[in-house]
Amino acid sequence: MKAAQVATAAADLVGGDRKEAYGDVLLGLDRIALMWNGLLAIAGKAPKQPINAHDVAQMMVCLKQARAYTGPLRIDNHIDAAGWSSVAGEAASRIAEAS
């Protein structure tokens, strides 16, 4: 699969089915951040700065990168990493606009 095809597939996921299924990405990432911050606090591992939507998306990129090194090639890991990276960019932009 060529790079442009990976990017197109990622754009289709981010702007298509997943958006329809889960709604506004930033609101979803904010909910995840709240839950992860709560879990880390309960575990006694709260970070100095709370995790935000951008951090969640970046961690999802890392998850997909780690999976790409496990087992046989599954191109969806690369498509998902590209998608999460674009979501991280959107989250960072929207957070900057709000401040």
pLDDT in tens, the chain (99 residues): 888 888 888 888 877 766 777 788 889 999 999 999 999 999 999 999 999 999 999 999 999 999 999 989 999 999 999 999 999 999 999 999 988
How far is residue 18's CA from residue 6's CA, in Å, rounded to a whole number?
A: 16
Site of tokens 């090639």: 73
64 exposure class (CB count in 10 Å sphere: 0-12, 13-18, 19+): buried
Question: What are the backbone angles phi and psi of residue 53, rounded to the nearest 5°?
Answer: -60, -40
